[in-house]
Amino acid sequence: MECFMKRNFRDELNQAIDFSSVLTQICAFSSFSCSKEKILNALPQFNKLEIQEQLNYAKEAIQFEQKGGLLNLSGANDISLPVSKAEKQMPLTSKELISIYHFLTAVKQAKQSLNSSEFIELTNLAQSMDGCTRLMDSIISKIDLTGSVKEDATPALKSMHKALVDTRLALQSKSRQFLKKNSSKLMENMTTTVSGRVVVLVRAQDKNAFGGMIHGQSSSGLAYYVEPSSFVADNNEISSLVIRIEEEKKRICKELSMQVKKHALALTSALETLTIIDVAFTKAKWAIRYDGCIPSLQSRDHSLYLEHAKHPLIDEKKVVCNTYELNDQQACLMISGPNMGGKTVTLKTIGLFVALAHAAFPVLCHKAILPFYQSMYFDIGDHQSIENNLSTFSSHISRLSHICQKSDENSFILLDEIGNGTDPLEGASLAVAILEYLISKKSTIITSTHYSQVKTYGKANEHVLVSSVEFDPETLKPTYKYIPGVSGASYAFHIAREYHLEESILKRADFLKNENEKQTEKELEKLEKLQNDVLKQKERFNALIEDAHRVQKEAYEKEKEIEKRKAELDASYQEQLNEMLEKKKAQAKEILTVLRKQKTGKQHEQIEKMHELDLLSENVVEEEQEKKEFKVGDYVKISGLNSHGEIVDIRRNEATVLTNGMKMKVKLSKLEPMHKPQIKKTTYKAHVESVSSRFPLELNLIGMRVEEGIAALDKYLDQAVVKHIKQVRIIHGMGTGALRTAVWKDLKKQPNVSKFTSAGPSEGGLGATIVILK
């Protein structure tokens, strides 16, 4: 029953104020599916403490974002299904296990980012999550980041993988010898695989010449797939090892699944908490992007204030911002004006912001103060019901009857064209009676009307604020500017004249109108015209103030952008220094290891190593400054390689060096200045040199565009093949993943590439690829 009521309420909100469309716009800023689902299922709540708690989270998130804070939840994902499986003692796959690791990584990042006394609510929320560090370590020690069980996850698995490699190598050796010896009896001088077993394609007449097993015949029937007897033992061993490896992997996953079960409660709780955090930051990002604010809900009176409000679904370049206000004595806001003049947009904007505020969302205002309501009712659009045999008016009256029965002083009511759809006199009288009744119940009513009788009632009632949306009679187009205190004319004669209705008809209609108007109404119309002129003067003044605020805001945002950029550059510079320091430490460790291994008799080698250690102790900052002195045209030596050449380009901390007729991208820290050698003319002699000694075994593509990187890769691989290089490393970085994807796609097309895989953790991880050449 409760679910049905919620569904009906949601349908009502969607029909009346496009509530779900706005939620869809908001959830586009979410980091993962759980927060998206929570936002899309949100509804107005009527527990003020719960609403205020969620609004406080969103308010702190806005402050965090505006102060340049960074919260990265890139690893967050919905782990409810794998956790539920683990609780039922169902083994998880390696992919599911690594998804839990990625989730815990996001939890760890959230705890690190939200750890400040400045953001108390979010900090308490983040620090309440259990990071399950031991579980993280257990998973990553056995599962790699791609979701595969590591080959060295256990000693047994490592041993089996080694045995598998050795057996396959032995079988390859046997197969080469077999092919060489029996080439005349084979259809193809190569082996193939059938059901995981290495076989050869033998001529039909020789199918029984080698013993072993026959695994089938070719489509032509002229050849058979034969497993020679000399292959059988190794094929059996390979099959056995593959099965044992898979069983060991399943055992590892089962063991890790039991650990997940032990942490199930902590994981489920962390998922709920991380979802709340992401929802808060989703709201914050939406509010900042569309210039919104956190609404204030008050229970002291019925006053309402929305400053500079704009509807989120209207094009930002076309939307007109307005300020809506009701004081404590005004229970009803009545909006009048011509059709298509913007009355419904005004109603929907106010109604939407009331609903969003009670669902704990920001609203697109500069300032928003709203009463806390405990019920909401909407009657907008055509509610004609075929099923219940109700006409538009009958449905309208049925809805109004329900509202009158259920509403009270804590109700918010939105009524579009009250009393419409029947005889104008009766409809207007009914509208006045309903408004009187709802005002007597102290409900808050936002309504629109065409009827003069209803507008006259509103002007005479101190509890009603009559207002309108401006319409330009010259262009016959609405300006969408909200004008409080002034009722809008219908402009029916202006529109009729524009559409070329007979002038005699218009004159007669004007005469009849004047005859029927009361003198008081004429005086009120004059008064409203004067009031409208004053309001226009006020609008011009407000526009000047708004421009000044806009310029000030742009300057503030520019300053924040510069500060953020400076912080990023400082962080990048510090990261480079740390990276250089780690390299120096590694080099020093290697030198000390060599020194310990050397015998005491080799004093000259010890002196050389000590000299290298002294060089490493030079200040990293000085080395960084030296890098900046390089310029295009300098001749340099590349440390660690027996190469030198001329700098042809410098970008950030990398230089492109022309050496041996080839361009190489090298970090500035690896360059040393040197004098360009003088080339002497000599007679050429035959000389053979190891080609691989001068060829770089890695290619750095970081900083290149995809097209530029692929071109460099193709050229590099061609040169590696010519120089008979068997293994190289391609450094492409992680970044957005576009360059890595393009590299892998290109490697698949390369005829000279035997295989390729991601580098190990010590070789660059997912930021590099190891390529084996044929």
Is 121 inside a domain boundary? yes
Backbone angles phi, psi at 221, to 5 degrees: 80, 5
* 66: Cβ contacts below 8 Å, ≥ 6 apart: 288, 560
**pLDDT tens column, 373-389:** 999 999 886 543 433 43
Backbone angles phi, psi at 292, to 5 degrees: -105, -175
Tell me whether residue 381 is annotated as binding: no
Residues 489 and 370 occupy one common structural domain: yes
Output the pLDDT for position 122.
95
Residues 92 and 39 occupy one common structural domain: yes
CATH at residue 731: 3.30.1370.110
Tell me whether residue 342 is annotated as binding: yes
Residues 404 and 482 occupy one common structural domain: yes
CATH at residue 304: 3.40.50.300
Is 183 inside a domain boundary? yes
Output the pLDDT for position 517.
56
Written as six digits, the tokens of 131 are: 């990071």
Is 243 inside a domain boundary? no
Number of H helices, E strands in the chain: 22, 23
Of the three residues 516, 549, 582, the one that is the final residue of a domain is 516
Question: CA 465 to CA 487: how far, in whole Å?
Answer: 9
- Rounded to 5°, the CA angle 61-62-65 comes to 85
Burial code of 343-381, b = ≥16 C-beta within 10 A, e = fewer?
Answer: bbbbbbbbbbbbbbbbbbbbbbbbebbbbbbeebbbbbe
Output the pLDDT for position 395.
76
Tell me whether residue 343 is annotated as binding: yes
Burial code of 577-604, b = ≥16 C-beta within 10 A, e = fewer?
Answer: eeebeeebeeeeeebeeeeeeeeeeeee
Residues 354 and 435 occupy one common structural domain: yes
Output the pLDDT for position 267.
97
Output the pLDDT for position 608.
59
Question: CA 346 to CA 365: how far, in whole Å?
Answer: 14
* 91: Cβ contacts below 8 Å, ≥ 6 apart: 85, 250, 253, 254, 257
Is 8 inside a domain boundary? no
Is 600 inside a domain boundary? no
Residues 331 and 277 occupy one common structural domain: no
Ranges of residues in the chain with a pLDDT under 50 are 1, 4, 383-390, 519-520, 599-601, 617-627, 680-693
Q: What burial class does residue 143 get, using C-beta atoms within 10 Å of its C-beta: 0-12 exposed, 13-18 middle, 19+ buried? A: buried
Output the pLDDT for position 524.
58
Specify the number of domains making up the chain: 5
Residues 175 and 278 occupy one common structural domain: no
Output the pLDDT for position 384.
39
Tell me whether residue 338 is annotated as binding: yes
- Rounded to 5°, the CA angle 593-594-596 comes to 65
CATH at residue 633: 2.30.30.30
> DSSP letters of 726-743?
-EEEEE--STTSHHHHHH
Tell me whether residue 704 is annotated as binding: no
Residues 33 and 106 occupy one common structural domain: yes
Output the pLDDT for position 381.
66
Residues 431 and 494 occupy one common structural domain: yes
Per-residue DSSP letter, 691: G
Range of the domain at 284: 16-132+263-289
Tell me whether residue 662 is annotated as binding: no
Question: CA 644 to CA 665: how far, in whole Å?
Answer: 13
Is 148 inside a domain boundary? no
CATH at residue 39: 1.10.1420.10
Tell me whether residue 339 is annotated as binding: yes
Output the pLDDT for position 724.
85
Written as six digits, the tokens of 326 are: 């009701």
Output the pLDDT for position 521.
58
Is 486 inside a domain boundary? yes
Written as six digits, the tokens of 412 are: 């918010």
Residues 671 and 703 occupy one common structural domain: no
Please name the helix (run of DSSP H) or strand (run of DSSP E) that holds residue 656, with its range, or none: strand 654-659
Is 716 inside a domain boundary? yes
Residues 486 and 364 occupy one common structural domain: yes
Of the three residues 289, 323, 351, the one that is the final residue of a domain is 289
Question: CA 191 to CA 204: how far, in whole Å?
Answer: 16
Tell me whether residue 767 is annotated as binding: no
Residues 323 and 417 occupy one common structural domain: yes
Residues 648 and 759 occupy one common structural domain: no
